[in-house]
Amino acid sequence: MTKINQIYKTKPVPVLSFEVYPPHQEESVKSLFQTLEELNPRQAGVDFISVTYGAGGSANHELTQHIASYIQNHFGVTALHHLTGINQTPATLHHNLSEMKAAGIENILAVRGDLPSSDYDNSCYPFAKDLITDIKKENDFSIGAAVYPEGHVDNPITGISVGGVREKISAGSQFLISQLFFDNNAFYKMQEELKNNYIQIPVSAGILPIISQKQVEKLTYMIGSSLPAKLAKIVHKYQDNPEALRQAGMAYAMEQIYDLLDHGVDGIHLYAMNQADILTTMLPKINDYIQCKNKRYAV
């Protein structure tokens, strides 16, 4: 499979990707594969699919690796295997990386994971940069990292941590995927901050469609994402009409994506939450828009 840092280097148009997460039940895994079958990722113009990784130890790693391997072997699409520092030791990391390499997985998104602040001192990898450093020592993985346009929820400083980004790049990160945001200005401000600090690295914009009232409450609390007035009005207007809110949320996300593409973003990364309608409705539209823009520039 192609290494993702090379995709960013060689693709003349924005990189298109999306995230899936490992379901807890076997039937749900089959359902996820069926959704991907219906989508046909390559036909939809998808460059890579990321597979998340929780704090479930070896069983969780095996499931993430299983899904990532299936994506590559069955659909012929590059998989980005998430790897967290939580509960990871140098020994388990070495074992996991060896298994991934043997399975043909060459792309990793290295993140710290959700860790109580009281456990920082007890963790072998308290920060993503620490995990990236050790991954870089083993084999030749293409390594990505997360970036936070509005700041990390655990950091009292609002906005991007330029120092944190520098540390991840110095450790070995070759591309970045942003945390979700609902105000494109936050992303553009982050881009400007990176540019002003002479940091050049591909960054995909992470977009999540709002599809429920409960989702809004969870995201604003857990992630700290700000809710623009326009989106807040949409959520309020359709709070008693779940299906209308779902459609309006996807429409708002598409507006974000079109604007980002018009501003020359390096890539779009869709947080699809394993929702079939998000994937089958939004991804073809995004790809069509990318191809249409490319044709206009080629004339």
Residues annotated catalytic, as ranges:
19
Determine the Cα–Cα distance for residues 36 and 173; give it in Å rounded to an integer: 28
Structure token pair of residue 206: 């992470």
Buried b (16+ CB within 10 A) or exposed e, 65-80: bebbbbbbeebebbbb
Dihedral sign for Cα 146, 149, 152, 153, please: negative
Contact 279, 250 (CB under 8 A): no
Which are the contacts of 129, defined by CB distance < 8 A and separation ≥ 6?
164, 167, 168, 170, 171
The torsion defined by the Cα of 262, 264, 266 and 267, in degrees rounded to 10, comes to: 0
Which are the contacts of 10, defined by CB distance < 8 A and separation ≥ 6?
none
Which are the contacts of 25, defined by CB distance < 8 A and separation ≥ 6?
none
Contact 30, 37 (CB under 8 A): no
Determine the Cα–Cα distance for residues 132 and 144; give it in Å rounded to an integer: 9
The torsion defined by the Cα of 41, 82, 116 and 208, in degrees rounded to 10, comes to: -20
Determine the Cα–Cα distance for residues 44 and 273; give it in Å rounded to an integer: 18
Instruction: Compute the residue count for the chain.
Output: 299
